[in-house]
């Protein structure tokens, strides 16, 4: 009985820790937004990294969970795009931390697809394989060697 | 065309890497290079329905492209090892400069392609760790050392020659694995994909598919060989040659899959 109670207590503690971290993520996001509006010249790098650190802690704690808090999900959804829209010039380190650019939505009609650079590289790599085949056949496998 | 054939014939006489195990390394590199390049093109061009391709998918695509580059690089290293072991065959030949230009040109192209791939992967991968570099360097050096001391007289007997051909596959694919896993996730941006615990048909029968493709390729190569003339071979001899082609291509592809399946996202866990 005491064991069950202890497990229950641990679960409740974990849940409250997650809630605390989720609230911290949202609070730090609001602070970052506020700092963005306060200064048009200086980018609030410090505030952003505090927010990113809180997100990382929250992600670590909820790694095994199937769901995350709705308010955190709303903040994280399209984070990079919202950062890019808010300022003309966003520091590279901020964009790097915010994640890769959203794939080219709409380029394939209604469907999502790979970023264009990956498509170009895939074609280049196929050409490389073809060239490699040609070199191999040219240097080694002519009829006179058989 | 006549000039091309003439030059190829003259060049093929001075190269020391036309024999196994160097030739086997190149042959397996071509087969896997073309297959993986086609796979990479398929992943890049296919539509992703309502969900955009995840970081995980993009990492696998970058790894597939890197795999093709590595196949060419390891073959070039194998060719250089053969050149170093048999300098008398080519250093005084008239076609020496042409040979060096071809290999050097290929090396420059492959470096340029690798730079392109690295540029595309900037946002999704993190730099390799010291331990990763060390592991890759040790395995790479072991591969070069194997090529440098491999007993070439083994190709004189049929059984040992077949063994030498099969040995070409690990020489190529073993160093590839630590080098490929150098393209890791940037964990802070990795998205966790929901899995329902079910395996698709392709994943459940992945080894069967690999062996099937190996057999098909072997039959294809055997048919190519026979189209140039069976030369009055007996039926028993033809069956033996067919078994050798099918066996070698299947073994090579199986070894390739064993080492590259998981890094390329073709393994059980994805």
Q: Domain residues of chain B, as ranges? A: 2-188, 199-270
Closest A-chain CA to B66: A125
Q: Per the CB < 8 Å rule, is B40 touching A56?
A: no
* CB contact at 8 A, B196 and B235: no
CA distance B25 to B17: 10
Using an 8 Å CB-CB cutoff, list chain B residues near A144: 9, 12-13
Chain B residues 6-35 within an 8 A CB cutoff of chain A: 7-9, 11-13, 15, 17-18, 23, 26-27, 29-30, 33-34
Q: Per the CB < 8 Å rule, is B99 touching A139?
A: yes
As given in the structure block, the two tokens for residue B84 are 């170093």
Cα dihedral across residues A4, A10, A13, A15: positive or negative: negative
CA distance A94 to A51: 11
Portion of chain A with pLDDT greater than 70, in percent: 82
Alpha carbon B65 to its chain centroid, in Å, reads 12
Closest approach of A11 to chain B, Cα-based (Å): 23
Q: Per the CB < 8 Å rule, is A144 touching B9?
A: yes
What pLDDT, on a 0 to 100 scale, did the predictor assign at position A8?
A: 74
Q: Per the CB < 8 Å rule, is A125 touching B43?
A: no
What pLDDT, on a 0 to 100 scale, did the predictor assign at position B182?
A: 65
pLDDT in tens, A7-23: 777 777 767 888 888 88
What pLDDT, on a 0 to 100 scale, did the predictor assign at position B126?
A: 61
Closest approach of A1 to chain B, Cα-based (Å): 34
* CB contact at 8 A, B12 and B71: no
Closest approach of B17 to chain A, Cα-based (Å): 8
Q: Per the CB < 8 Å rule, is A122 touching B113?
A: no
**For chain A, how many residues are written?**
146
Tens-level pLDDT at each residue, chain B (270 residues): 445 555 566 677 788 888 888 889 999 999 999 999 999 999 888 877 656 677 778 888 888 999 999 999 999 999 999 999 988 888 888 888 888 898 999 999 999 999 999 888 876 766 666 777 788 888 888 888 988 888 888 888 888 888 888 888 899 898 888 888 766 554 334 344 434 445 567 777 888 899 999 999 999 888 887 877 666 777 888 888 889 999 999 999 999 999 888 888 887 654
Q: What is the reported pTM?
A: 0.68
Q: Per the CB < 8 Å rule, is B75 touching A132?
A: yes
Q: Is the pLDDT at A51 greater than 60, yes or no?
A: yes
Q: Per the CB < 8 Å rule, is B47 touching A97?
A: no
B38 touches chain A (CB under 8 A): yes
Q: Per the CB < 8 Å rule, is B53 touching A145?
A: no
CA distance B64 to B38: 10
Closest approach of B53 to chain A, Cα-based (Å): 6
pLDDT in tens, A76-92: 877 877 787 777 777 77
Using an 8 Å CB-CB cutoff, list chain B residues near A126: 37-38, 40-41
Closest approach of B132 to chain A, Cα-based (Å): 23
A99: left (phi over 0), alpha (psi -120 to 50) or beta: left
What pLDDT, on a 0 to 100 scale, did the predictor assign at position B34?
A: 93
* CB contact at 8 A, B49 and A110: no
Q: Per the CB < 8 Å rule, is A125 touching B69?
A: yes
Q: Per the CB < 8 Å rule, is B37 touching A122?
A: yes
Establish whether this prediction's ipTM goes over 0.85.
Answer: no
Burial of B147 (0-12, 13-18, 19+ CB in 10 A): buried
B106 touches chain A (CB under 8 A): yes
Closest approach of A2 to chain B, Cα-based (Å): 35
């Amino acid at each position: 009985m005491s064991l069950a109670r202890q497990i229950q207590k641990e679960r409740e503690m974990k849940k409250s820790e997650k809630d605390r971290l989720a609230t911290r993520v949202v609070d730090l996001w609001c602070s970052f937004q506020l700092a963005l509006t306060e200064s048009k010249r200086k980018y609030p790098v410090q505030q952003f990294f505090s927010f990113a650190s809180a997100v990382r802690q929250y992600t670590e704690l909820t790694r095994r969970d199937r769901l995350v808090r709705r308010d955190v999900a709303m903040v994280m959804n399209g984070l990079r795009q919202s950062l890019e829209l808010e300022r003309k010039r966003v520091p590279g380190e901020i964009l790097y931390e915010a994640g890769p650019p959203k794939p080219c939505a709409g380029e394939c009609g209604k469907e999502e697809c790979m970023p264009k650079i990956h498509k170009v590289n895939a074609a280049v790599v196929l050409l490389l394989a073809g060239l490699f085949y040609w070199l191999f056949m040219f240097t080694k496998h002519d009829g006179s060697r058989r | 065309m006549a000039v091309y054939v003439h030059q190829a014939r003259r060049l093929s006489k001075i190269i020391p890497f036309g024999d196994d195990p160097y030739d086997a390394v190149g042959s397996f590199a071509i087969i896997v290079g073309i297959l993986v390049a086609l796979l990479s093109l398929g992943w890049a061009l296919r539509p992703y329905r309502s969900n955009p391709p995840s970081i995980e998918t993009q990492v696998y695509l970058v790894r597939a492209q890197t795999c093709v580059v590595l196949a060419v690089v390891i073959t070039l290293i194998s060719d250089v090892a053969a050149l170093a072991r048999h300098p008398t065959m080519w250093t005084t030949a008239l076609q020496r400069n042409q040979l060096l230009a071809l290999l050097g040109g290929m090396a420059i192209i492959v470096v340029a392609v690798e730079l392109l791939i690295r540029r595309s992967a900037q946002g999704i991968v993190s730099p390799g760790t010291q331990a990763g570099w060390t592991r890759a360097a040790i395995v790479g050096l072991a591969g070069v050392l194997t090529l440098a001391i491999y007993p070439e007289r083994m190709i004189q007997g049929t059984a040992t020659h077949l063994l030498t051909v099969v040995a070409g596959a690990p020489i190529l694919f073993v160093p590839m694995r630590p080098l490929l896993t150098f393209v890791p996730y940037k964990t802070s941006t990795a998205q966790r994909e929901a899995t329902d615990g079910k395996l698709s048909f392709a994943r459940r029968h992945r080894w069967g598919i690999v062996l099937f493709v190996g057999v098909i390729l072997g039959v294809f190569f055997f048919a190519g060989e026979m189209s140039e003339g069976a030369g009055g071979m007996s039926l028993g001899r033809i069956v033996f040659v067919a078994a050798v082609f099918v066996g070698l291509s299947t073994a090579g592809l199986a070894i390739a899959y064993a080492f590259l399946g998981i890094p390329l996202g073709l393994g059980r866990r994805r």
